Amino acid sequence: MHFQTPHEQFCFETATGFNAVRGRGVSRIKETFSTFASALEYADQYVDGRTMLYAINDMGNSAHICNR
């Protein structure tokens, strides 16, 4: 995995959960997963590259990791 910033790498390495987010505004959907693999599996069902995956840690940090 290639990280754009040290912050993204830090959040990914210390993540306790991952969010998959699709849509915008009132049609936004957010799903929470305990593993990155689970979040990827969820995103892969759409095959349109529009699912944003975020890493979240216990310190309240979050970072966009990729679109899938």
How does pLDDT run across 15-51, given as a tens digit for each residue?
Answer: 999 999 999 999 999 999 999 999 999 999 999 999 9
Report which of 45, 47, 49 is spatially closest to residue 68, judged by C-alpha positions.
49
Angle at 29 between CA 27 and CA 33, to 5 degrees: 175
Tell the residue number behind the tokens 């892969």, with chain if given. 44
pLDDT value, residue 25: 93
pLDDT value, residue 1: 83
Say whether 15 sits in a helix, a strand or coil: strand
How far is the C-alpha of 57 from the C-alpha of 17, rounded, in Å? 7
pLDDT value, residue 11: 98
